[in-house]
Chain A
Amino acid sequence: MDAIVTSTVTKSAATDCCSESKTIAQAVPRKNIMWVYIIVGFFGLVSIGTYAMHEYYLYLSAYLWFGFIYGMCLQYGRFCFASAFRDLFAVGVPRMVVGIMIATFLFSITSSLVAATGWSTFHAAPWSVHAVIAGLIFGIGMVFAGGCASGSLYKAGEGNGVSMLVILSISVTQSAFVDVGGWANKLVPKAWAEAALTKGLPSSINVSDGWVDQYLAGYVWEQPVITFAKLLGFEDHSLVGALYANTFIGVLLPALLLLVICYIFWSRKRYVMDLKTNEGRSANFADHVRGFWSMIISSKRTAIAGLFLGIACGLQMFVIEGLRMKFGVKNAGTILQRIGFDYGISVKGTVFDPGYWYVTTQEAQWVGWMAQKLGFNNMDNIYFGWVNGIPSPAINPADWMSVALIGGAAVMALMNNEFKWKKPTKELAIWALIGGAFMGIGSRLALGCNVGAFFVRTANGDVSGWSFGLGMIGGAYIGVKFFNWYTERKMAKEMANIDFDL
């Protein structure tokens, strides 16, 4: 590291015990600032240069700059869905649960307002127990990997090699999983296979070959699509349905319940003890309300990140739908074809174009695209061939979003002097690959990850979002139990020759 002036903040025990940790001030090296300009300049040039080629590239640039904002927010707030329940179960820290609930609530308000205008890009997912099972597998994976799908992206922006391996593992696993057939067809229940054949898919998809194809067409598509608005008899696109049913009933009440549980089981004890020590009295109801609030604001960085993230997520829906109207399209596949790219477009003429923040499908797509280039035919399945396509990563809108997310996180990390290339150790590399594989499979079973299947769906009143979340909590609990045992075992070896009484 060159030309770094290091400064430290030293704090007394008296002030530190019960206050939020302060940011440790440190001068930012000039080299970091130069890289910030290079990264921002690169994305700026991409946007301006492509816009000069054709106005349609605005669509891709919109994805790009929202991705950039997400990356900055995630890195600033150390915003990782994996750490939410993992840190709660492992070390009793609820800060990330608080941040995620704040972000989900704010996202829900903005997305409900967008929905009420009829400009929402959101479509609810089929709901059944599959969402819980998928969440469970995903939750175990995110603890093993050391980060969720979005967390791994922002940590890759910090130069973390482990996170890059996680992304690689998620990408390869998904791409392979959606195309696996042959022996795996024998594991498909007969009812799924029969139901899949009735969906009228084109022969090029070959729906009877592929476990995921038959799972999707034969099982998932048969399940009901339920939102809180529909449950209460409203339309998703009405103001009452969106704001009252989907946001108030579907997000605010469950989020408050979750936070109250966190306070009772993880924060209350310390607050009551401090009150007794400092004021010599027991806590009354008003004290508990104050204690609950202090838990909410205990990590300002996470809460601020959640606030901006929530607002940006809702705005992206609004902007993307606005651009679709402007260009007279319903999917980016049409835009790509109009600007001369027809490679990797699905049978329906579409490509993956969620219209909101999403992480995992574009990761599967770039590996799918590479596999296709290497001679594999992976367009004969529903995931790539019928719905998402495998356009070149260079013109894939969702890939622009993810690359810019990594860039935004890198910019924030550089500005806070937290960027460092870190080579993974063998031990962490193995965990990254195993965890990434679990997350890849979980994502495809749920049709999304912690962002697409939990955050976005929950915020939009989709019941399957909370179902995936419940599974994710269960998975995090199992993962933590395992890592507790693993850490205990390693520490016992390290402490074998130490006598703590000497």
Chain B
Amino acid sequence: MAMQFKQVEHGLYTLDVTGYVCPHPQLYTKKVMEKLHSGDKLELVFDNPSSAESISAMCTNEGNPVLDQKRDGSKFIFTIQKA
């Protein structure tokens, strides 16, 4: 499945990178977070386990809190807020 980025409502976006391997999920997430305004939220969906560690660490480094982390089968669903 190709990468999908959508605006759900004002200040809330979804990025689905299911099926992608490293480094694509990390890079797409970084690019999206750079575009968002402070306070905006991103729901990120991916299924590459090693990206989970890298994305969490990237959010920590950049000060963007991960509000929620869920698992749905092999999928990871992170909700990230732009600081």
Contacts and interface: CB of A to CB of B under 8 A. Distances in A.
A417 B3 contact: no
Nearest to A425: B19
Interface string B14-51: 00000111111011111110011100100000010110
A448 B29 CA distance: 33
Nearest to A80: B50
Contacts of B2: 425, 427
A143 B22 CA distance: 8
Contacts of B36: 500
B60 A18 contact: yes
Contacts of B55: 91
A90 B26 contact: yes
Interface stretch (A1-9, A181-189, A240-248): A1-9
A34 interface: no
**Interface secondary structure of B, over-half rule:** mixed
A298 B10 CA distance: 34
A498 B40 CA distance: 14
A62 to B, nearest CB: 29
B69 to A, nearest CB: 5
A279 interface: no
Which of A18, A162, A298, A494 has the most chain B CB atoms inside 10 A of its CB? Answer: A494
Interface residues of B, number: 54
Contacts of A146: 21-24
Contacts, number: 171
Contact of B71 (A8, A17, A495): A8
B74 A6 contact: no
B22 A80 contact: yes
B74 A147 contact: no
A147 B49 CA distance: 13
Interface in A126-147: 143, 146-147
B63 A273 contact: yes
Contacts of B71: 6-8, 24, 26, 417
A11 B49 contact: no
Interface residues of A, number: 70
A95 B73 contact: no
Given A24-B71, A425-B2, A90 B66 contact: no
Contact of B52 (A21, A419, A488, A498): A21
Interface in A285-299: 298-299
A163 interface: yes
B50 to A, nearest CB: 4
A21 B5 contact: no
B36 to A, nearest CB: 7
26 contacts: A1-B73, A16-B66, A18-B60, A20-B60, A21-B52, A24-B52, A83-B50, A87-B26, A90-B27, A92-B58, A93-B54, A95-B57, A155-B21, A270-B63, A299-B57, A417-B71, A420-B47, A487-B27, A488-B31, A490-B3, A494-B4, A498-B5, A498-B7, A500-B35, A500-B36, A500-B40
Interface of B: 1-7, 10, 19-24, 26-32, 35-37, 40, 47, 49-50, 52-74, 76, 81, 83
